[in-house]
Amino acid sequence: MYILPTQPLSVYSFLSEVALNVDCRLLFCDCRRSLIMAAGPTNLANSDNLNTKNGNFICGVIEGFYGRPWTTEQRKDLFQKLKKWGLDSYVYAPKDDYKHRAYWRELYTVEEAEHLTGLISAAKEHNVTFYYALSPGLDVTYSSTKEITALKRKLEQVAQFGCTAFALLFDDIEPEMSEADKEIFQSFAHAQVSVTNEIYQHLGQPKFLLCPTQYCESRAMPNVTNSEYLNTLGSKLAQEIDVMWTGR
């Protein structure tokens, strides 16, 4: 268990492998509300033990791995299984969807829009909350009005597809700011918090997740307790935004 030093962030816990036929990690995080997510399952076995009916938990699957993304049919099959297991959330964040990460500024084409709209609708049919995640951290300029406008435009487009839950992911990036950002923000954490809070407010305060750059114990510098980055998130991030944490 990990206790973050600054409220309202609280307790984090981690479970790396589950006694199921899973090719994944199951992540347990208490981040203002508790969050249970699985990163990359390909063949979850039937199990009645996964039923987690608890209003304090977000329970579900993150498609957030590197490599070939799942197909539409695999995702729809997953939504059915999530409902069966009593899980309630899915995060769309395949690293190799270029418009999720490398080309995050680009809007979706008509064909791509129809595809995402169908996925969001299928998730709703099974009472699964579809979180659309964007990973702009590779090259975003946090202080740029143009960049923030691009973020808003992209997520507004996805909202038009029927999506009501979103995430910003800042994992697996270098903790560096541009010279322009250094003139505006006190730190890397302040930059991310500023952008995240603005996007959250702009979208009307929907269900919202943040994956920080220091997303596990081994990345917390110098450690979880004394990390200025995590302290800043705890004190500055909008309290309604849930923070993802993967343990060690």
Q: How far apart are CA 91 and CA 38, in angstroms?
A: 10
Question: Which among 23, 172, 181, 242 is annotated as catalytic?
Answer: 172
* Residue at 211: amino acid letter: C
d(CA 225, CA 229): 10
Residue 172 falls in the annotated catalytic set: yes
List, as one string, the DSSP characters of the chain. -EE-SSTT--EE--B---SSS-SSEEEEEEESEEEEEEE--S-PPP-STT----TTEEEEEEE--SSSPPPHHHHHHHHHHHHHHT--EEEE--TT-TTTTTTTTSPPPHHHHHHHHHHHHHHHHTT-EEEEEE--TTT--TT-HHHHHHHHHHHHHHHHTT--EEEEE--SS-----HHHHHH-SSHHHHHHHHHHHHHHHTTS-EEEEE-SS-SGGGSSS-TTT-HHHHHHHHHS-TTSEE-----
Residues annotated as catalytic (active site), given as ranges: 172
